[in-house]
Amino acid sequence: MQSVFCFCFCLGMALSAALGASASADETGVMADLFGDGALKGVQRVGFGKAGSWTFQTYGSAALGDRTGNVFTAHVGAGYYMKDDLSINIELLAGEININEGTEGVASVVGVDLLLRYHFRKEGPWTFYLEGGAGLQQSSDPFPTVGTHFNFRPQAGIGFTVELLDRARLMSGVRWLHISNANKDGPLKNPGYDGVMIYSGLMIPF
């Protein structure tokens, strides 16, 4: 799945460059005159996570579970800050599942997650956050093997961001991820999956 992580990183860097180029030299000069270089950087950091602002994020993830299998996905989405430091995020995902039991093989998967993310601590260019939510996914093969193609994705975790460029931040974290169909087809077809998801990518405020 190296291609997934490379795609996310390259996409994020390209968007970061495009957003950075959109600020005119005149605007930068005016802000520098008003605040000075050091103060301007401080204003940019303080503005991150303010109510009414948005972020774009893209990252790659690997969810490592028990003998059932592993899930590798690329994510892309946007977040809106309802209150200072608290955002609601919708993220699309696509990737593959390595199925390790029953009929071994690789299944493709697509889905969507809805997540709340709260930046509970800020230290200079760093922020630390808690997040949680749920999503939906559809896979080309049942997952787990005796389960179903369609499943729900409750999840929760912790992570951090750190400022890399004027409008780009590295984001990384770890989540607990559960995949199951909530017994919609009965308990015999809902074995469930629990994995530890690690992820890393870019977040771009705007």
Each domain of the chain, given as residue ranges in start order, spans 2-205
CA 35-17-50 angle, 5° bins: 50
Reduced to 3 states (helix: H, G, I; strand: E, B; else coil), residue 118 is strand
Chain center to CA of 115: 9
More confident residue, 200 or 19: 200
Enter the DSSP assignment of 23. Answer: S
The whole-chain average pLDDT of the chain stands at 81
Q: How many CA atoms lie within 13 A of 119 on its CB side?
A: 25
Tell me how far apart the alpha carbons of residues 111 and 136 are, in angstroms, rounded to a whole number.
Answer: 5
CA 120-124-128 angle, 5° bins: 25
pLDDT, position 189: 73
Q: Locate 150 and state its tokens.
A: 């369609």
The CA-atom distances, in angstroms, between 17 and each of 65, 104, 168, 206 are: 36, 42, 9, 13
On the question of pLDDT at 44 being above 90, the answer is no
pTM metric for this prediction: 0.75
Question: 139: closest CA among 126, 149, 148?
Answer: 149
First vs last C-alpha separation in the chain = 29
Q: Which helix (H) or strand (E) holds 26?
A: helix 25-35
Tell me how far apart the alpha carbons of residues 114 and 141 are, in angstroms, rounded to a whole number.
Answer: 23
Q: Name beta bridge partners: 110.
A: 94, 138
Amino acid letter, residue 198: I
Reduced to 3 states (helix: H, G, I; strand: E, B; else coil), residue 40 is helix
Q: What pLDDT, in 10s, does the model give residues 52-101? A: 999 999 999 999 987 788 999 999 999 999 999 999 999 999 999 998 76
pLDDT above 90: percentage of residues in the chain: 60
Q: Are 67 and 99 in contact (CB under 8 A)?
A: no
pLDDT, position 103: 58
Q: What pLDDT, in 10s, does the model give residues 136-147? A: 999 999 988 888
In CATH, the number for domain 2-205 is: 2.40.160.20
